[in-house]
A and B are shown apart, each in its own frame.
Chain A
Amino acid sequence: MSLEIRLEHIKRDIPLVSPTEALARCRTGAVLIDVREAEEIALGTPEAARALGRGYLEMRIGDEVPDTGQPVLLLCAATTRSLLAAADLRQLGYRNVAVVEGGFNRWKNEGLPYILPEAADADARQRYARQIILPELGPAGQALLGKARVVLVGAGGLGSPAALYLAAAGVGTLGLIDHDRVERSNLHRQVVHRDDRVGMDKTESARLTLEALNPTVRIRRHTLRLDAGNVEAVLADYDLVVDGSDNFATRYLVSDACQRLGLPNVYGAVQGFEGQVSVFPAGGQPCYRCLFAEPPPPELAPSCSEAGVLGVVPGIIGLLQALEVIKLITGIGEPLIGRLLLFDARRSSLRQVLLHADPECRYCAPGREFPGYADDPHFCHS
């Protein structure tokens, strides 16, 4: 018997009720059972629902609902799995089984109340309350942040503000890549570090601050200098890369690795009173090399360790990067893809220009084979 025919048979015996009707029945004693998988439930479930996956339904229903006369409502993403589960419960003797028509998708679309399940414990509900109530984010957006794995290249001027706000917002896993130790001259802009940590590895100093801010975030340290030999192994564990590095060699390496691994690259760079931000999309165009095909010749590139910077400027640019990360993870708004934001602190101006996707780009043009990592010289010997 085909699935379609079987479902038609089941529908003759099992009533379908609307989500609104289901909610009303819950309030008068019906048991609502969410039969979806755990990762679906993580994105939200009706508050009254009991999570009982399809796989264990027959084994656990006896404990959950000992009275086979009890009204039972079944909910999946749409309707199919609930109908199949309803037929099973019928065979087990449950006489009063109904299916929520349209499932959780319709439940949510109709604006009925739902919650983050167990992962969103009391801590998370308090911690993120003021952003979860944003309709654009909601429990589903918060769950996406919690599942996201973001790696920050550099725990410095850009990485500090980005890491602080991403940890605060509840990004589940934050990776920190930096081979440096904290110096006193870093502290005017690298605000994730502290004076009493001068000499400590930056990844460790940042971990201490971030875990103090939000103990529920998982911090992973990568105390190393990225090179062609290790970049893929480090970045491959993440969903999204934030480029806050301080030299051209690392920027090209990170861009090329993101292209190769199909990771979005949230780019930020600063010099003096100016900063740039953009998002280079996962496996798409344009990439960093479309924007800047080659690094400047060394005689035209300011030495990174000598170049001046006002701490507020990487603060602003790093936060714009954090904002783009949150938008990419949650799907809120328009990502900064194909656009470059230019910030000038002296004019207090923020303007954007449109980027050109180079049809001949060796790294991101469609159909190109990965040309390998360039042996870029280090411009900064920091």
Chain B
Amino acid sequence: MQDASVPATITIELPAALQPLAGNAMALPATGATVAEALADLGGSHPLLLSRILTRGGQLRPHVNLFINERDVRSADGLATVVRPGDTLLVVPSVAGG
């Protein structure tokens, strides 16, 4: 964890449902040392988008999952999970259609 405080630029990949809140981008870059910091960076430019991922209290919404390089952040350190340059943060919300 020696690089825990080093900000990294990562790619946040968005599901189609959230892309309209990101100027229809499929992915956005964000910078931070942890998932929380990268999301805060994202929220600086796209506050409405962030509100679909985190609650007002800053917790991950229970119907949303975040995966860093295919691993669920809940099985790591949650929003405190350290990110590294080039990481991909995948946002996966619950969908119900059939």
Contact = CB atoms under 8 A, between A and B. Distances in A.
B98 A296 contact: no
Nearest to A243: B98
A355 to B, nearest CB: 6
Interface residues of B, number: 23
B97 A295 contact: no
Contacts of A269: 94-98
Interface string A340-358: 1010101100011111101
B7 interface: no
A10 interface: no
B2 interface: no
Contacts of B65: 291-292, 353
Given A292-B63, A356-B75, A272 B16 contact: yes
Contact of A156 (B52, B71, B75, B98): B98
B31 to A, nearest CB: 23
Contacts of B75: 354, 356
B54 interface: no
- Residue from A269, A300, A379 whose CB has the most chain B CB atoms within 10 Å: A300
A124 to B, nearest CB: 31
B93 interface: yes
B46 interface: no
B92 A270 contact: no
B97 A248 contact: no
A294 B95 contact: no
B21 to A, nearest CB: 11
Contacts of B90: 342, 353
B52 A245 contact: no
Contacts of A296: 61, 63, 93-94
Contact of B15 (A245, A274, A301, A307): A274
Contacts of A304: 96-97
A369 B71 CA distance: 29
Contact of B70 (A273, A344, A354): A354
B78 to A, nearest CB: 10
A175 interface: no
Nearest to B52: A300
Given A272-B16, A292-B63, A356-B74, A246 B96 contact: yes
Contacts of A301: 96
Contacts of B70: 351-354
Interface in B57-94: 61-63, 65, 67, 70-72, 74-75, 90, 92-94
- Residue from A154, A292, A301 whose CB has the most chain B CB atoms within 10 Å: A292
Interface string A258-286: 00000000001111111010000000000
A131 to B, nearest CB: 27
A71 to B, nearest CB: 60
Contacts of B96: 245-248, 251, 269, 271, 295, 301, 304, 379-380
Contacts of B63: 292-296, 300
A270 B95 contact: yes
Given A273-B16, A274-B15, A293-B63, A354 B72 contact: yes
Nearest to A317: B98
- Residue from B15, B72, B95 whose CB has the most chain A CB atoms within 10 Å: B95
B67 A271 contact: no
B17 interface: yes
Among all A-B residue pairs, the 6 with the closest Cβ atoms = A356-B72, A356-B75, A271-B95, A293-B62, A246-B98, A292-B94
Interface of B: 15-17, 26, 52, 61-63, 65, 67, 70-72, 74-75, 90, 92-98
Given A270-B97, A300-B63, A355-B72, 18 more contacts: A243-B98, A246-B96, A246-B97, A248-B96, A268-B98, A269-B95, A270-B95, A272-B17, A274-B16, A292-B94, A293-B62, A304-B97, A340-B92, A342-B92, A354-B67, A354-B72, A354-B75, A380-B96
